[in-house]
């Protein structure tokens, strides 16, 4: 097989890119749940998402008082509608990711046969796959400041020195999607600390303290119950808990054998180990920071992706500045949240057995 532009690009686009993209989707649980089902957009200067941030006034109304729909004006014998808007919007910047595939001139000369070409392309794409997997996995759970070119982070970040936690979903007193939660406190996520008992604060618990029981209930289960309740309103509840292997094992060890539920079968089928806590599936993610357990309501988390740059492939071509052929894989979008109040984190847990 000759390494010409058309045959090389067609082979890569049709045979290898779909496999690479599937592997990226299956690389971690949030990519599997959110990136795989990303909402495709046609464009726009920014990504705009509506937020529901408050409730209408309560009450049925009466001769003198305010009601749900308005207030009663006795002089005109009319119910006057309220002027009240429970919605606002968040704005998210587009972020771009790409990976390049480079074939040098000497590689062209050395790889002329069919099998050599296939082997070369596979090795190049394996490199690209590893880079993109790590990029999405690490950035989604980064505790560092979100840079101008980084996607929104799920993870908690310390804001003690200023704006470190801006554009971190599970955080407080920060700007997220252009909405400042120091002013709009309903935009804060839920934050609690592992304690080894029913109180917050104190030193981080050990593995044994997590699994110690009181009246038949393990300390880690008590902590998780508090956080689950903090992130729930009626039947709007956490559906995914992401944590480390250490804390996953601590929870599993605290359960009786008869209470070890499998969790979400679709995640299990995709190769993720799962357990059940109330209505949520618990999973391990290697990118999750030590000692953290994230309680997520994925109904309010979503990837928005540009329809024309959803892992789109630009075929091989020769460039003047490079002695060889170059192809590129592009992605453009961002991770957005429409209700941060329904997300939370337990932090300060054990990082070792």
Domains of the chain as residue ranges with CATH = 5-53+84-347 (3.90.1690)
Q: What is the pLDDT of residue 196?
A: 47
DSSP conformational letter for 257: G
Helix or strand run (H / E) with residue 11: helix 5-11
Q: What is the pLDDT of residue 200?
A: 45
**Whole-angstrom Cα distance, residue 148 to residue 160?**
20
Q: How confident is the model at residue 4 (pLDDT cuts 50, 70, 90)?
A: low
Report pLDDT digits (tens) over 297-338. Answer: 999 999 999 999 999 998 888 877 778 888 889 999 999 999
Between residues 43 and 343, the one the model is more confident about: 343
% of the chain surpassing 90 pLDDT: 42
344-347 and 190-193 strand pairing: parallel
Report pLDDT digits (tens) over 105-116. Answer: 777 776 666 677
pLDDT at 224 over 90: yes
**Whole-angstrom Cα distance, residue 270 to residue 306?**
26
Q: How confident is the model at residue 10 (pLDDT cuts 50, 70, 90)?
A: confident
CB within 8 Å of 349: residues ≥ 6 apart: 194, 204, 205, 210, 220, 244, 246, 247, 250, 291, 292, 293
pTM of the entire predicted model: 0.84
Between residues 89 and 11, the one the model is more confident about: 89
Q: What is the pLDDT of residue 113?
A: 65
pLDDT at 176 over 60: yes
In contact, 7 and 1? CB cutoff 8 Å: yes
pLDDT at 99 over 50: yes
Phi and psi at residue 105, to the nearest 5°? -60, -35
% of the chain surpassing 70 pLDDT: 80
Q: What is the pLDDT of residue 131?
A: 84
């Amino acid at each position: 097989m000759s390494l010409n532009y058309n045959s090389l690009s067609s082979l890569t686009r049709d045979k290898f890119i779909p496999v690479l993209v599937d592997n990226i989707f299956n690389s971690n649980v949030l990519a599997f749940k959110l990136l795989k089902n990303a909402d495709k957009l046609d464009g726009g200067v920014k990504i705009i998402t509506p937020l529901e941030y408050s409730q209408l006034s309560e009450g049925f109304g009466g001769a003198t008082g305010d009601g749900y729909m308005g207030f009663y004006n006795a002089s005109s014998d009319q119910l006057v509608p309220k002027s009240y808007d429970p919605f606002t919007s968040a704005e998210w910047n587009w972020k771009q990711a790409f990976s390049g595939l480079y074939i040098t001139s000497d590689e062209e000369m050395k790889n002329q046969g069919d099998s050599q070409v296939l082997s070369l392309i596979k090795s190049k794409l394996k490199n690209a796959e590893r880079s993109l997997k790590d990029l999405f996995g690490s950035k989604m759970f980064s505790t560092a400041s979100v840079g101008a070119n980084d996607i929104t982070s799920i993870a908690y970040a310390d804001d003690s020195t200023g704006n470190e936690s801006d554009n971190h979903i599970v955080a407080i007193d920060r700007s997220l999607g252009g909405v400042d939660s120091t002013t709009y406190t309903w935009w804060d996520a839920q934050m609690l600390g592992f304690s080894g008992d029913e109180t917050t604060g104190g030193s981080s618990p050990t593995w044994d303290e997590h699994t110690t029981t009181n009246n038949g209930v393990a300390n880690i289960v008590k902590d998780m119950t508090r956080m689950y309740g903090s992130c729930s309103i009626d039947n709007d509840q956490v559906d995914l808990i992401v944590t480390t292997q250490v804390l996953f094992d601590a929870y599993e060890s605290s359960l009786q054998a008869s209470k070890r539920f499998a969790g979400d079968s679709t995640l299990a089928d995709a190769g993720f180990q799962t357990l059940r806590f109330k209505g949520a599936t618990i999973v391990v993610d290697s990118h999750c920071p030590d000692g953290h357990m994230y309680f997520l309501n994925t109904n309010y988390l979503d990837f928005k992706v540009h329809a024309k740059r959803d892992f789109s492939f630009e075929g091989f071509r020769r460039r003047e500045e490079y002695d060889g052929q170059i192809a590129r894989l592009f992605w453009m979008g961002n991770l957005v949240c429409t209700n941060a109040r329904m997300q939370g984190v337990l932090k300060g847990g054990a990082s070792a057995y």
